[in-house]
Amino acid sequence: MSEQLGEATADEVRVLLRGHAPSAITLHFVDIDDVQWPVKQVVSIATGLPVSEFTSSTARRWLVKRGFSTHRLDTEAAVASVAPRPTRTPRRALDDAELAGLEVVQHTTMAISFMWRRAGRVTLTAEGRLVFPPLPKRPGLYRFDLECDPDCVTVAYIGESIDLEKRARNYRSAFADGARSKKTSRRIHKELLTHLGRGGTITQSIVTEAHDGIGSVVDLGRKSARLLVENVAITEARATGRTRLLNIDSIRAEGDL
């Protein structure tokens, strides 16, 4: 196979290499006039063949026949030519003292105010389907308050939506839509059905307006703004100690206590 690569002489190889730069060496290399080249790159340049057309072993035999010496990266000659890798400094986490010593570049205090408005009761049809109270086609937050459990702790779920009325329809058809419905919709749908099926009651409340600490309106049409207000509502509900939330992050947090 090596003879099929062409009959270029050693001097012709040197001429053909002019104007080229060595590529990164992965394993085998050839030393030509004190410059180290990948063996397949040299043969490819000298013969015009792509490197995929021959093996490294064939390239080495071809070069040796022309008087060149080939080496492996793990030989002494190769090791001497490879620059040592810089020593990496192990990363470590900041301790509390170092954290406290970091420069303060900005101090932020933010207050969010909003009101929950009672929309009405969630009920069941004779066929066992959820019925929600009339809701606006507006962005905002919604909250389901399930009748107190035996320990008199309110069970609730808090969510947000770009369209409150459409969100209720999504819950109503969560299982009918099958895989198209999100896992959260199916989970809360099941919670509501189970609670009402046991004779419990559910009240839905909504938030359609929110303001910051200086009285400016928070644009609930933006997802980031709704998530901000939603997290404030969830944090407040958890802080009271009188509400058990069905929100996944709150369930996980209770498990960590």
Which of 86-100, 126-140, 243-257 is predicted with the least confidence, judged by mean pLDDT?
243-257
Q: How far is CA 15 from CA 11, 18, 51, 127, in A?
A: 6, 6, 19, 88
The amino acid at residue 10 is A
Q: Which of 177, 194, 178, 184 is nearest to 122 (CA)?
A: 194
pLDDT higher than 80, residue 131 = yes
pLDDT of residue 84: 53
CB atoms within 10 A of CB 177: 13
User: Residues 37-70: pLDDT tens digits?
Assistant: 999 999 999 888 888 888 999 999 999 999 999 9
pLDDT higher than 70, residue 184 = yes
Percentage of the chain modeled with pLDDT above 70: 83
Average pLDDT over residues 146-150: 74
pLDDT of residue 241: 79
User: Residues 160-170: pLDDT tens digits?
Assistant: 999 999 999 88
pLDDT of residue 85: 54
